[in-house]
Amino acid sequence: MASGIFAILDDIATLMDDVAAMSKVAAKKTAGILGDDLAVNAEKASGFASSREIPVLWAISKGSLINKLIILPVAFLLSAFLPWAINIILIIGGIYLAFEGAEKIYHFFVPHHNSKAEELKEVQTKEEILAIEKERIKSAIITDFILSVEIVIIALGTVVGQEIWNQIIVVSIIALIATVGVYGIVALIVRMDEAGYKLIAKSKSEKSFLHKIGQLLVNALPKVIQALSVIGTIALLLVAGGIFNHIEFMHHLFPWMPSMLKDFLAGLVVGFIAFFVFQVVLKIYHRIAK
């Protein structure tokens, strides 16, 4: 009896060692996309009133968890029975990410009157503010869904051929990191100014170390958010381009070009094609509606 228990414990220990080793490999493979995920979601979660930052971030985090609960079982089933469907889903998601990145670049050079800051300044009532928040949360969750699909597929690719339970555990760990880790860091970023104000309040003089650190955090936040906005846009195009460049004929194009530049250009070109097609369809729709 005792020997049987020890044998089970030994099997569990071996399984955990295998899972830990595979999770480490999967984490390395997905590190780049997790970094892009962080940049994109930090930019998406910024620009709200201070009192609304955490509630909005919590709503996006819950949406991200629900995304994972949907994606994981579907990914395992598709991998087992319809592996070709995964590539189609990835390409559709890549087009959406590229479109969103191109749209941001277009509105940077051709300013749109409904920017984040202007949106919140134009509204007056609490209901209007909450409606805008709801739309932006929805947009953030959709983007998270597409990035999550990419993360899960990459993680799944590192454990292909392993036993199904190992696949489930490893990919689930990576998915959990992609939510808890990423949104935990995002929360720290968007609350930098609050931490700074608290340090300033605790400092005894303007020359004290605490006051200087607090002031640094307060002054740094707008620059960090601005930088993340740029990084997030580039990340959208890189992720999208990475998806497109895994297609066979795209993969062999311009072999001399650095992979990161190739991903960015692929995302940029496809993104602007999708953006202008969308604009044409939108204009046709408006004319028909009139």
* Radius of gyration of the CA atoms of the chain, in A: 22
User: 18-76, pLDDT tens digit by residue?
Assistant: 455 555 545 454 555 566 566 666 666 666 666 677 788 888 888 888 988 888 888 88
DSSP, collapsed to helix, strand or coil, labels residue 1 as coil
Q: Would you list the domain boundaries of the chain?
A: 2-289
User: 216-264, pLDDT tens digit by residue?
Assistant: 888 887 787 777 778 778 877 887 888 788 776 676 777 778 888 888 8
Tokens for 123?
Answer: 């509204």
Residue 181 is classified by DSSP as I
**Beta carbons of 106 and 255 less than 8 angstroms apart:** no
Q: Answer whether residue 124 shows pLDDT above 50.
A: yes
**Beta carbons of 221 and 46 less than 8 angstroms apart:** no
